Chains A and B, each alone.
Chain A
Amino acid sequence: MSQRHLLALFNDFDEAVAAISELRAANIKGFDFDDLILKSPIEHPEVETVLGDRPIKVQWFTLAGACMGGLLAFTLVASAQANFFSQIKAGKPIVPLPPDFVLTYEMFILGGVFITILGFLICAGLPAKRSPLYSAKVSEDQIGILVKGDEAAVTAFKAIFTKHKALEIQEEAGK
């Protein structure tokens, strides 16, 4: 069965929240609530709470990146020094720990930052092509709700959106 996409734009955030809660409560056939996408100009956790528990995994990338960065730095630096053994430096051991810790620390941060960014791109699905249902208004001041459902569900969607004073409803046949 072909899927339809709908984007509704709202001016009032409270109305948008109400619309989402209603979509969630209304058991519309052929519509999975997890497919609902909220598009907003700002980051607001308050509105996102109605979406329910959606997982964030970036922090695991951070942990892995930071640990790897630090470990790698220490191993590489210490073994590079150990291969440079014929050249003692100024009464210091060949593998001096304090300087190596400084470098470990820096690389811990570097690894953390870089892999976090990698994690961000992966988790947020960026870079991506913009979906055809996008309005420049979303980057200005309106909030958008993008839903996906069977053709049969479209009327139900529209009813809920208009009830909550949607300014505009864009519609497009899914792939």
Chain B
Amino acid sequence: MSITNLLQNWSDFRQQHPSDERPHQEYKWAMSIDLDLCTGCNACSVACYAENNLPAVGKEKFSHGHSHHWLRIERYWHNEDREYADQGAQFLPMMCQQCEAAPCETVCPVGATNHTADGLNSQVYNRCVGSRYCNANCPYKARYFNWYDYPTTADVWPAPMEQQLNPDVTVRGKGVMEKCTFCVQRLTVAKSNARTEGRSVHDGEVQTACQQACPTGAISFGNLIDPESRVAKQWEKQQVKLNHDKQAKDAVHDGDKLRGYRILENLRTYPSVMYLEQLREGAI
């Protein structure tokens, strides 16, 4: 039976994703983040903690590198020749890039992290054995390991904070890897609602927690396949193509003025998050 399956569908099994021509069906979730709008306020990160039941590990564990911010605001400084050092701050919200060819997926020994049909990089907590190979192979180091059993650790959610835990999201025990999911719980609800009504998800119908919380609207999120979605328009305008590891922007007129880029694109991870370069000189 298995061998017949193997022989009959051989060409399907040899399909390479995403470089071969077989786009995602219906949905391909993607994001774009305008760094020019980002003020580094950390509201997205806080929203993520609240939405995804992330444990606040505390100062000591944080200092040991055990932090759990699925979405972190990275600060970079360009403060030479500035009157006030803080003027040179630049911010970069970094979360799992939901790569189309994610390096973490191939190396997981148990197949706990996979590419889903709607273009996400999924993480199956109850399959994970904690070899941490995925993090070792993630160039962005956007994966976070449960170094302790946080649900039973005191002061991770001091009362009454446990009341705000999101019932749609599991609380992870020790020894599993976790990462940004693009708020998959929201996506699932939106998709199933749309399916019930016999349509597909509208642009803007579903928002990630970080997007919702961003005061400047720097984050846009949506279905890249839907040409009318905001995110698809942005990608189109910036001439960033999902399945290219080198964007052909320099070839076009004024291509160098386009701001869109993906991080560490040269590693051929094909990330689903596009960043728009910062134009402002400083934070202030």
- A and B in direct contact, judged by CB atoms within 8 A: yes
Q: How far is the CB of A87 from chain B (nearest CB, A)?
A: 4
Nearest-Cβ distance from residue B123 to partner chain A, whole angstroms: 12
Tell me, yes or no, whether A81 is within 8 Å of chain B by CB: yes
Complex partner residue of A84 from B99, B111, B115, CB under 8 angstroms? B111
Chain B residue nearest to A97 (CB atoms) is B14
Structural contact, B100 and A91, CB atoms closer than 8 A:
yes
Q: How far is the CA of A95 from the CA of B3 in the complex (A)?
A: 13
1/0 contact string of A63-86 vs chain B (CB within 8 Å): 000000000000100111111111
Residues 268-280 of B, flagged 1 when their CB comes within 8 A of A and 0 if not, give 1010000000000
Q: Are B106 and A89 interface neighbours, CB within 8 A?
A: yes
Evaluate contact between B6 and A91: CB separation under 8 angstroms: no
Q: Contact between B111 and A87 (Cβ–Cβ < 8 Å)? A: yes
Residue from B3, B6, B14, B117 whose CB has the most chain A CB atoms within 10 Å: B6
Residues of B within 8 A of A173 (CB): none
- Contact between chains at B115 and A79 (CB < 8 Å): no
Stretch from B16-24, B157-165, B166-174, B205-213 forming part of the interface with A: B16-24
- Given that A90-B102, A90-B105, A91-B101 are known contacts, is A82 also in contact with B13, CB under 8 Å in the complex? yes
| B103 CB contacts on chain A under 8 angstroms | 90
Instruction: Please report which residues of chain B, range 98-138, place their CB below 8 angstroms from some CB of chain A when the two chains form the complex.
Output: 99-106, 111, 114-115, 117
Taking the complex as formed, is B60 at the interface, i.e. its CB lies under 8 A from any CB of chain A?
no
Q: Which residues of B contact A51 (CB under 8 A)?
A: none
Q: Are B115 and A89 in contact (CB under 8 A)?
A: yes
For A94, give the chain B residue with the smallest CB separation. Answer: B13
Q: A79 touches which one: B5, B101, B105 (CB < 8 A)?
A: B5
Q: Which residues of A contact B100 (CB under 8 A)?
A: 91
In the assembled complex, which residues on chain A have CB atoms less than 8 Å from the CB atom of B111?
A: 84, 87, 89
Do the beta carbons of A87 and B115 come within 8 Å of each other?
yes
B residues 42-101 near A (Cβ < 8 Å) are: 99-101
Inter-chain contact B6/A95, CB cutoff 8 Å: yes
Q: Are A75 and B3 in contact (CB under 8 A)?
A: yes
Are A79 and B3 neighbours in the complex by a CB distance under 8 Å? yes
C-beta contact mask, B18-41 vs A, less than 8 Å → 1, else 0? 110000000000000000000000
Interface residues of A in 92-139 (CB under 8 A from B): 92-95
In-complex Cβ contact of B117 among A75, A79, A86, A91 (8 A): A86
Q: Are A91 and B270 in contact (CB under 8 A)?
A: yes
- Are A89 and B14 in contact (CB-based, < 8 A)? no
Chain A CB within 8 A of B266 CB: no
Residue numbers in B under 8 Å from A94 (CB-CB): 12-15
Q: Is A167 an interface residue (CB 8 A)?
A: no
B196 beta carbon closer than 8 Å to chain A:
no
- Which residues on A are within 8 Å of B, measured CB to CB? 75, 78-95
> 17 pairs across A/B with beta carbons < 8 Å?
A79-B2, A79-B5, A82-B2, A82-B6, A82-B9, A83-B2, A83-B5, A84-B111, A85-B12, A87-B114, A88-B17, A88-B114, A90-B101, A91-B270, A92-B17, A95-B6, A95-B10
